[in-house]
Amino acid sequence: MDQLNLRHLYYFWVISREGSIARASEVLQLAPQTLSGQLATFEASVGGRLFLRERRKLVLTDLGRLVLGYADDIFALTGELSDTLRLAPSDRPLRLSAGISASIHKLIAYYLIQPAMALGRQIQLDCRTGRTEDLALSLKRKELDVVLTDRMPDLDKHGPLTVHPLVGSSISLFAAPPLARRLRGGFPDSLNRQPLLANATDVPYFERLMNWLSLKGVRMHLVARVDDSALIKVFGRQGLGVFAAPTVIRDEVCRQYEVEQIASIDEVQDELFAVTRSGKLAHEGVRAICETPVDFSCLALPIE
């Protein structure tokens, strides 16, 4: 093999990423028969089978895994080059596509993105919310520039991604004023058998909160699971139960929803991360998000 055919290598890489020729053909906009023929040509050029078919699935051979490792590096670099070229010249509007985990409070999401909006140049911002795993897949496919999340993505599943720790916050418990005042005394034992409003979006800090309560021997009464961060606070304001939120937005939660803080729990942390395709942050907006310390005191915004 005197010269590697990068187009064939790219076809192989997409097939590996998508898991089947049928799905890869949709991404590449090629007929499955054409793509299958290109793969066969590439296998002949490298001197061995790259895939085996097991139960209607394509499984990489040892040679396939070896080639895939190099392909990941090659196309990561070409992706970085493409991103860099896309950013020039500097006077063009900077497009920023950000994926935001649905479990992150909307006010916190704004604070995380705000450094990019403060760059002093026109920003075309596209925000998409969803599950972290789905957003990580979109990031890998270059549909997003960055993913903001409150959980570590499965790096083994999604390939070479880079995780940037951003900020952390303790978790506080809130309730309508009469209930909050009654529960402050003797905390946390005062929470035993009290009504609890749970996050239904699989928020990582909520699981940590449940573990902390269990260690304290406290069992609360679950009255509702709510997958909307605003609705759970409205229920709390109406006195239906206790709810949790990051302490960094305590003042806004209390002001906006007319509730009071019961207590802050330092042992339970809400950790936030930015996920990128590479550690080399060519995108100016992504670099600002990943490298600028988050200042939660700079603005006061209503929470939704």
Residues 192-215 have pLDDT tens digits of 999 999 986 678 888 899 999 999
- Mean pLDDT, rounded, for 229-258: 92
- Tokens 């906006």 locate to 256
Q: Could you tell me if 209 and 278 lie in one domain?
A: no
Give the torsion sign (CA, 118, 121, 122, 123). negative
Q: Are 218 and 173 in contact (CB under 8 A)?
A: no
- Using the 3D structure, point to which of 34, 68, 85 is the last residue of a domain: 85
pLDDT (tens digit, 9 = 90+) per residue, 75-126? 888 877 777 677 666 666 788 999 999 888 888 899 899 999 998 888 889 9
Asked if residue 199 lies in contact with residue 102, where contact means CB atoms within 8 angstroms, the answer is: no
Determine which of 153-167, 168-182, 186-200 has the lowest per-residue pLDDT on average. 153-167
What percent of the chain is modeled with pLDDT above 70? 91
Give the C-alpha separation, 234 to 258, whole Å. Answer: 9
Q: Residue 163 pLDDT more than 80?
A: yes
- Same-domain check for residues 100 and 78: no
For residue 191, pLDDT over 90 is answered with yes
Please check the confidence at residue 156 and state whether its pLDDT lies above 70: no
pLDDT of 299: 41
Q: What's the average model confidence in pLDDT over 244-254?
A: 91
Within-domain flag for 81: yes
Average pLDDT over residues 168-179: 95
As for how many domains the chain has, the answer is 3
11 within some domain: yes
Mean pLDDT of the chain: 88
Whole domain around residue 257: which residue ranges?
Answer: 169-270
> Are 190 and 215 in a shared domain?
yes
- For the beta carbon of residue 185, count every other beta carbon within 10 angstroms: 8
Q: 50 and 67 in contact (C-beta within 8 Å)?
A: yes
In a domain, 302, yes or no: no
> Which of 53, 85, 117 is the last residue in one of the domains?
85
Pick 179 or 152 by higher pLDDT.
179
CA 161 to each of CA 40, 112, 127, 157: distance values in angstroms, whole numbers, following the listed order: 30, 19, 20, 10
In whole angstroms, what is the distance from residue 152 CA to residue 109 CA? 16
Residue 107 lies in a domain: yes
Give the residue carrying structure tokens 């699935």. Answer: 57
Q: Is the pLDDT of residue 157 over 70?
A: no
pLDDT higher than 70, residue 161: yes
Q: Which residue has the higher pLDDT, 105 or 64?
A: 64
**pLDDT band at 36; cut points 50, 70, 90:** very high
Which pLDDT value is given to residue 104? 87
CA 31 to the chain's CA centroid: 33
